Each structure stands twice: as C-alpha cells, then as structure tokens.
Amino acid sequence: MSVEPNQLDLFNNPGETRQLELFAYPPPPPADGQLELFPSKKFRSKHRDGFVMNPEELQQWKAQIYDYQQKARTTPPPAQTTLLDLPANHCDPERIDPLTLQLQSMAFYRMPANYPGNACLYFVVDSAAQLILYVGETCKSNKRWKGTHDCKDYIASYQDLHYRYKLQTAVNIGFWWDTPQRREARQELELYLILKWRSPFNKENWERWGQPFGKS
C-alpha cells in the first residue's frame, strides 16, 4: 500500500515531545520538477512473473533513479517556519546523506557479536552506481538482518541480473547512529527519508519505480 504525504503524522502522541515537527512534509521535488519515468509504464506496474529487464532497460531504470537522487542531494530544503523559537534538531534529516556514510558488507550480520546492537537508521547502497536502494530502521542493528527480510530477496535478484549482464555492482550497507531512541520518532524519520530519496526497494516507492526485483 502506498503512503500518501498526509499520512506522515501517524505517530501523534500528545504525551510526548515530537522531534520532527519542524520538518517539511513531503520532501520537495527537484528544482526542475519531478521526473517522469518510462512512458510505456512497463516499469511502473507491479512485478510480474517472468518479467526480466534487458541490459538497456536496467541501465535506464538505474539512471532515472540516480538522476532523481542526485537532484535530491543538491536541492536546498524549503524554508522552515515555526511559531516557537526551538533549537535545531539533532536528527535533522537534511544532514543525513547515505552516500557519504562508511559502508559495510551486506554480510555484516553474520559476524560474531555478543550484543543485539543499537537503534539506528540503515541504508542499502549500490556504491558502484551511487544509488540508495533501501532505507530502514531498527532498534537492534545486529539482529534485524538475521531473520526474514524481503529486501534480501530484492538485493539477490538485483545482483543476479547484474551478474547475468556482466555489469558492475557493489551493494553495501551504511548506518546512521544519531537517531531517536523512541520507535515512533525513528519510524517517522525513516519515512521522511524514504520519500526524500525515493529508494526503489521500499514499498512506498513501488508505484513510482515499479517492482522489477520484488515479489509478484
């Protein structure tokens, strides 16, 4: 189910101080307007059994996402207005650039660890193509990927198609640790970043980019 911009205020708890109220929702489109993707609508539809992009289609799909995300990186955020003179929030999403994070192998969760990890946001990135593929959040950074996770299947399909066409790819993961400890605030920050970067493996963006690597 796609998420409409007016659904971002899902976690309104009057008893707690909200951390993200100063942020503008939804994130602004690039300065020259939103990209139109694939007039044929081939990639805008849900994943279909037996549908596989050819090399040119795969490169085009990636190029359109790259163009959008690069414009999102360089477009200044809208001016913020507030009735209260509040200090800047340490979780300002405009400070988070997943492409500048220190990256780790996607096999990080297989490394021995005697603690469950910490709360964080994480970003699956193809550093060879400079693409942000997935945005997620967790309260246990060492545990989230040990179990079932649909994104593992998307990554495997994405990499398999690149190997088939002998195209370079380097899928890794980066962590942002300076994140709210309260889950609702962390999820709100996650959703803001999903909509800002339009990461193609997040279900909120399937209507825009299609679902060529997802489940039918």
Residue 34 lies in a domain: no
Per-residue model confidence as pLDDT tens digits over 31-53? 444 444 443 444 443 444 556 89
Count of domains observed in the chain: 1
Residue 197: predicted pLDDT: 97
Across 114-120, average pLDDT: 71
Distances in Å between the Cα of 103 and the Cα atoms of 24, 32, 74, 98, 173 are 28, 31, 22, 9, 5
* Residue 70 belongs to domain spanning: 53-75+92-216
Across 171-183, average pLDDT: 90
Residue 203 lies in a domain: yes
Residue 38 lies in a domain: no
CA distance 155 to 213: 8
Residue 190 lies in a domain: yes
**Rounded (10°) angle between helices 55-74 and 150-165:** 120
Residue 156 lies in a domain: yes
Residue 107 lies in a domain: yes
Residue 19 lies in a domain: no
Per-residue model confidence as pLDDT tens digits over 143-165? 666 666 788 899 999 999 999 99
pTM of model > 0.75: no
CA distance 189 to 8: 9
Residue 120: predicted pLDDT: 87
CA distance 190 to 212: 23
Per-residue model confidence as pLDDT tens digits over 75-110? 877 665 444 444 455 678 888 999 999 998 877 665
Q: What confidence category does residue 202 fall into, taking pLDDT thresholds of 50, 70 and 90?
A: very high
Residue 162 lies in a domain: yes
